[in-house]
Amino acid sequence: MIKIENKFLNRIVTYFFDASMEELKNLVDGEIVFVTDRNIFNLHQQKFASQKTIVIEAGEAFKQQASVDYIIAELIKIGATRKTTLIGVGGGVVTDITGYAASVYMRGINFAFVPTTILAMVDAAIGGKNGVDVGLYKNLVGTINQPQFLLYDFNFLQTLPNEEWVNGFAEIIKHACIKDEKLFTDLENNSVDIYKKDVQFLSNLIKKNATIKTNVVIEDEFEKGDRKLLNFGHTFGHAIENLHQLPHGYAVSIGMCMAAKISEEINGFYSEDKLRLEKLLKQYHLPTQCSFDKANVFEILKKDKKRYDASIDFILLNKIGEAKIQSIPLTQLKDLMNQIL
């Protein structure tokens, strides 16, 4: 087990890599209550034996306030107190909901995560953003509050469906685009199948990506500046994800291609690098385009959280491995969309 401490503003968050869920009992004082989803619970029941476990339904459709209310009702039934630690074991949906429920139950109890998807390991479980969707609006309600620790048990990945591996690699490619050209090249020289076959190789990739995300967040926990770079591909991505019920990684992949095209139009991003990105996404079985209704997408963009007045903070690439925040007026964005589509 490798232990790394990360200093966030109000808390040190310890990451335990190459760990096993059995080690949790040595890490937590007091009662543990697990939150997980039905798929993970069914596939890994033995890991939850002997602990109180709240099981929610799987999938983004259940990332709603009703699931939080259910968890709170169960916590009351169990008799959870301020000494209870709530541990979310799952993908981004479970970790987001768990962090939020723990942050409001009794005005806040301890919580921690065991991420079980690639996406949660490199992204969703890191950074303290917790919350739920409200109707079509993703992550509209929530808190920023860091967990006590993250425990990485790669054993869970043995049951992860292929589509979820692909989903997670969209965020890994995003990290390479905005922060790490060397990682981009490493990814070009490998494939999902190579990472799947070699746990140590995968573990190094996950550690590297968890570190990239963590460092960006630590520099700017409340998203005043550079944390916004993590939204690369997400402005368009979220809009088409909602409209077309796409998996998050697929939507982000298409969003990154849109952002690369806009970068080419207005930021001097090389056309060859745009093609390099498209090639890498395809290599990791991610889509690079889809047909969508421009007017509908534009309506959703207008309501984006990153919008201020008549402009939107958009993430563009200067080159592979380096990104910047650019405020783009909505009117210009509309023109750009018409131009590149």
> Pick from 71, 93, 240, 252: which binds ligand ADP (CB under 6 A)?
93
Catalytic residue among 47, 248, 261, 306: 248
Q: Which of these segments, 56-64, 185-193, 309-317, 333-341, binds ligand ADP (CB under 6 A)?
A: 56-64
Residue 211 CA to residue 209 CA, distance in Å, equals: 5
Write out the two tokens for 90. 């799952």
Say whether residue 90 binds ligand ADP (CB under 6 A): yes
Please report, as residue ranges, which positions from 187 to 246 form the binding site for ligand ADP (by CB under 6 A). Answer: none
Q: How far is the CB of 253 from ligand ADP (least distance, A)?
A: 13
Residue nearest to ligand ADP (CB): 91
Please return the burial class of 39, using the count of CB atoms within 10 Å of its CB with bins 0-12, 13-18 and 19+: middle
> Pick from 88, 92, 127, 233: which binds ligand ADP (CB under 6 A)?
92
Catalytic residue among 164, 171, 241, 278: 171
Say whether residue 101 binds ligand ADP (CB under 6 A): no
319 is catalytic: no
Which residue has tokens 């966030």?
A: 8
Burial 307-327 (b: 16+ CB within 10 A, else e): eeeebbbbbbbeebbebebee
Q: Which is nearer to ligand ADP, 74 or 164 (CB)?
A: 164
Provide the CA 15 distance to its chain's centre, in angstroms: 16
Say whether residue 156 binds ligand ADP (CB under 6 A): yes
Please report, as residue ranges, which positions from 23 to 42 form the binding site for ligand ADP (by CB under 6 A). Answer: 37, 39-40
Q: Which long-range contacts (CB under 8 A, 24 or more apart) does 292-297 make?
A: 292/240, 292/243, 292/244, 293/243, 294/337, 294/338, 294/341, 296/243, 297/236, 297/239, 297/240, 297/243, 297/337
248 is catalytic: yes
The angle formed by the CA atoms of residues 22, 25 and 31, to the nearest 5 degrees, is 135
> Pick from 55, 56, 87, 94: which binds ligand ADP (CB under 6 A)?
94
Catalytic positions, please? 107, 129, 171, 213, 223, 227, 231, 234, 238, 248
Q: Please give the residue ranges that form the binding site for ligand ADP (CB under 6 A).
A: 37, 39-40, 43, 58-60, 90-94, 116-117, 119-120, 124, 156-157, 159-161, 164, 167, 248
